[in-house]
Amino acid sequence: MSNITFDAEGKTETLKEDIEWLRLWCEETNDQNLPRVALIGDSITEGYFRYVLNALKGIARVDVLTTSYSIKSNAYNMMVKSFVADSDYAVVHYNYGLHAHSVDDDTYEEECAAMLDYIAKRAKVVVGTSTIVLENDLQTESANWQGKVRTRNERLLKIAKAKGFVIDDLNSISRTLLGDYRAPDGVHFSEKGYEVLAGYVVESIKKVLG
């Protein structure tokens, strides 16, 4: 694999989150016997990662990059690209839409399209739609996020369909996961909620692996 360098000056604008975090986890990194897949996302991906890892034991090695950095940031751009370039991935499952609320829809679409194009040159791509955010009653969709999630998913699906990417419609699944399937904040899920989401992520990855 050729060495790849990234120029932070290539991004003319960066938008910051109030809290920025990053987690990478890669196991059995020298194993060449099984295909390697990557999950890229935010805290929702972080929640279902371990369930996916366990479900794919003996089928694929599973790496993960989860972060809160804005999709419109130099750090996000460089981190994701370097992560994808660092290993030979058969499949990348991409699910990133619940951060950077201030990023406008056109910018979100532009940044997603550019990143997915980069990933698609190196691996097969599965695009996961963003899950719904609930109000405190854990039954009603959040007024603050409803329109944003809907529009971002529409833009993401447009990209995926144009490029022929496999679509993992986690948004539709999340609409059935209310009440005790959710964490009290209405954004995240309980463990049994994450386990359900993981099942769909696993099936979408298996579909691509063949």
pLDDT tens sequence for the chain (210 residues): 334 444 545 555 667 767 789 999 999 999 999 999 999 999 999 999 999 999 999 999 999 999 999 999 999 999 999 999 999 999 999 999 998 888 999 999 999 999 999 999 999 999 999 999 999 999 999 999 999 999 999 999 999 999 999 999 999 999 999 999 999 999 999 999 999 999 999 999 999 998
**Kind plus residue range of the DSSP H or E element containing 168:** strand 166-168
Is the distance from CB of 127 to CB of 72 less than 8 angstroms?
A: no
pLDDT of res. 4: 45
**Would you list the domain boundaries of the chain?**
18-209
The domain defined by 18-209 carries CATH number 3.40.50.1110 = yes
Per the DSSP assignment, residues forming a β-bridge with 55 are none
Distances in Å between the Cα of 67 and the Cα atoms of 46, 57, 75, 77, 130 are 9, 24, 10, 12, 15
Per the DSSP assignment, residues forming a β-bridge with 67 are 22
CA-nearest of 156, 161, 145, 141 to 71 is: 156
Distance CA 209, CA 207 (A): 6
What would you measure as the largest C-alpha separation in the chain, in angstroms? Answer: 51
Output the pTM of the full model: 0.92
Is the distance from CB of 62 to CB of 106 less than 8 angstroms?
A: no
**CB neighbourhood size of 143 (10 A):** 9
DSSP code of residue 4? -
